[in-house]
């Protein structure tokens, strides 16, 4: 199918040259109709759009009237031929007003390159599917309680965006679903930059909230990967997981109050994340999680908390009050993580009645010079093996057969990552018989004899490193 291109106040050739990546134009300049010169004509172009069409909007500032949003209703692209509405240059189209785009009953729609400044939530409703938000700049009105983007549509993608500068209650990006208990399926969140959320309250300023407590038992199968969080100070939870069966991997949280928290739900995998120089690390509630290959360095708070529960397990049909409570961790695997120079290393909780059970803590590196390296409260049937402890901090209450105290010979690189050096006793010392990893945090193969901690010793350059602003957001590759 030949892709048609509609232009708003710009020459066709210029729009072609400035097309953002992710769906490049294939039509020639002669295929474009006369330039579009008003919001009314933009609405008309949307109304007549067909699969494969690309509508390009000229740079400028546009105020969308409250009674006439940019409605995308009953428009169906396809997987190979989405309908794309794009700014001529990333960030060059600024959308003011109460609303911008309003979607309903549509699929395979891409919104690219806009600067959203509206004063109400951008909703991606459950009546839609396969909606993509890419290379946009989100700085909505800084209104108390306003959530900026809410995704309820299955198979949606949120990538290469910048969410920044909020000082009031409200989240940057929420993933929910239809009704009160369902979750949108297979949402993919990647290469976004979340920065400068400065809400000073104790709760309610998460950059990403993946579900809410009534949806805890719903499987979302979301993937949150390769995102950068900087100065994410609006909540102790930078990534708040409140649903089941998700993957949180290869993200970097730097100089932020918030961490990664599995607050509700089961069976989430947390792998290969860097948490550097902030406050909170990871907290775990719920069952059957896998937490592997993570690197936590220089946190002023608790690096890794195996929580306690107000409930043993969340169950279908429980009261809303019970569902809001914490689910005690059961059958969680914590392996191949490196925790270095944090104020608190591995700790538990004692202020709830249900203790964690059947947790495996294996082949981790715990290194610190203050406090206790392991400060667990009540535990039941924990399995400890192959951990290496080092530093002036005391061992704490880890069982004697669950660790070795020996210098792992770590070397911290310019990227802030502590890696093994040649001759480290951690090399080849892994104990898990059925390891849940094939590669380390750097992207290097683990091999048959696996090393302790997140790094597998190698003289090759890392394939994965802590992310910087150049790796994410609207202008990244």
Instruction: Convert the pLDDT of each residue in 66-120 to its tens digit.
Output: 999 999 999 999 999 999 999 999 999 999 999 999 999 999 999 999 999 999 9
Dihedral over Cα of 424, 425, 426, 430: its sign: positive
* Of 455, 452, 453, nearest in space to 466 by CA: 455
| Per-residue pLDDT tens over the stretch 306-362 | 999 999 999 999 998 899 999 999 999 999 999 999 999 999 999 999 999 999 999
Please say whether the beta carbons of 453 and 337 come within 8 A. yes
For the ranges 116-120, 154-158, 334-338, 445-449, the lowest mean pLDDT is seen at 445-449
| pLDDT in the model for residue 38 | 84
Residue 49 or 321, more confident:
49
Q: Three-state SS for 310?
A: coil
| pLDDT in the model for residue 25 | 33
Q: What are the structure tokens assigned to 87, written together?
A: 């700014």
| Per-residue pLDDT tens over the stretch 455-468 | 999 999 999 999 99
Residues in the chain, overall count:
477
Please say whether the beta carbons of 364 and 387 come within 8 A. yes
Report, in angstroms and rounded to the nearest whole number, the Rg of the chain calculated over CA atoms: 24
| pLDDT in the model for residue 202 | 87
Give the C-alpha separation, 57 to 112, whole Å. Answer: 10
| β 173-175/223-225 pair status | unpaired
Give the C-alpha separation, 408 to 457, whole Å. Answer: 11
Residue 335 or 20, more confident:
335
| pLDDT in the model for residue 5 | 63
The vertex-94 CA angle with 93 and 97, nearest 5°, equals: 140
Q: What are the structure tokens assigned to 355, written together?
A: 């203790």
| pLDDT in the model for residue 349 | 96
**Residue 9 clears pLDDT 60, i.e. is over it:** no
Give the number of other CB atoms < 10 A from CB of residue 1. 11
| Per-residue pLDDT tens over the stretch 234-273 | 999 999 999 999 999 999 999 999 999 999 999 999 999 9
Give the C-alpha separation, 403 to 372, whole Å. Answer: 14
pTM (2 decimals)?
0.93
Confidence of residue 22 (pLDDT cuts 50, 70, 90): very low
* Of 21, 100, 113, 105, nearest in space to 58 by CA: 113
Q: Where are the domains of the chain?
A: 1-107, 121-471
CATH code of the region 121-471? 2.160.20.10
Mean per-residue pLDDT for 406-423? 96
Bridge partners of residue 261, in order along the sequence:
240, 283
> Which residue reads 């809303």 in tokens?
320
Task: Quote the mean pLDDT of the chain.
Answer: 93
| pLDDT in the model for residue 36 | 65
């Amino acid at each position: 199918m030949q892709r048609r291109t509609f232009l708003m106040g710009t020459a066709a050739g210029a729009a072609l040259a400035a097309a953002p990546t992710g769906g490049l134009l294939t039509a020639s300049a002669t295929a474009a109709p006369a330039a579009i010169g008003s919001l009314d004509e933009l609405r008309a172009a949307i109304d007549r759009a067909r699969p494969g069409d690309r509508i390009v909007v000229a740079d400028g500032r546009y105020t969308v009237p409250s009674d006439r949003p940019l409605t995308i209703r009953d428009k169906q692209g396809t997987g190979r031929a989405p309908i794309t509405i794009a700014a001529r240059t990333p960030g060059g189209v600024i959308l003011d007003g109460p609303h911008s785009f309003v979607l309903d009953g549509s699929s395979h729609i891409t919104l690219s390159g806009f600067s959203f400044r509206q004063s109400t939530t951008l909703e991606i409703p459950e009546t839609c599917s396969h909606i993509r938000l890419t290379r946009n700049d989100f700085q909505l009105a800084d209104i108390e309680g306003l959530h900026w983007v809410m995704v309820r549509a299955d198979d949606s993608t949120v990538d290469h965006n910048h969410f920044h500068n909020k000082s009031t209650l409200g989240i940057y990006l929420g993933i929910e679903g239809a009704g009160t208990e369902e979750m949108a399926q297979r949402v993919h969140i990647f290469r976004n930059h979340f920065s400068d959320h400065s809400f000073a309250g104790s709760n309610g300023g998460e950059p990403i909230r993946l579900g809410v407590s009534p949806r805890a038992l719903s499987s979302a199968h979301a993937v949150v990967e390769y995102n950068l969080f900087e100065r994410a100070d609006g909540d102790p939870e930078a990534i708040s997981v409140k649903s089941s069966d998700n993957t949180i991997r290869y993200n970097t949280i730097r100089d932020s109050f918030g961490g990664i928290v599995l607050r509700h739900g089961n069976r989430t995998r947390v792998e290969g994340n860097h948490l550097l120089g902030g406050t909170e690390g990871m907290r775990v509630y719920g069952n059957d999680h896998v937490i592997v290959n993570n690197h936590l360095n220089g946190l002023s708070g608790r690096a890794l908390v195996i929580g306690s529960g107000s409930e043993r397990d969340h169950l279908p049909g429980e009261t809303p009050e019970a569902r809001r409570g914490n689910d005690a961790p059961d059958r969680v695997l914590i392996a191949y993580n490196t925790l270095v120079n944090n104020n608190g290393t591995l700790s538990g909780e004692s202020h709830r009645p249900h203790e964690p059970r059947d947790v495996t803590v294996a082949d981790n590196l715990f290194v610190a010079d203050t406090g206790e390296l392991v400060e667990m409260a009540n535990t039941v049937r924990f399995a400890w093996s192959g951990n290496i402890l080092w530093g002036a901090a005391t061992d704490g209450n880890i069982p004697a057969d669950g660790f070795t105290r020996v210098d792992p010979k770590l070397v911290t690189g310019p990227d802030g990552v502590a890696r093994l050096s040649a001759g480290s006793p951690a090399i080849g010392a892994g104990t898990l018989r059925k390891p849940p990893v094939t590669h380390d945090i750097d992207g290097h193969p683990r091999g048959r004899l696996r090393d302790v901690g997140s790094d597998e010793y190698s003289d090759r350059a890392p394939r994965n490193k802590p992310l910087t602003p150049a790796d994410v957001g609207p202008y990244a590759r």
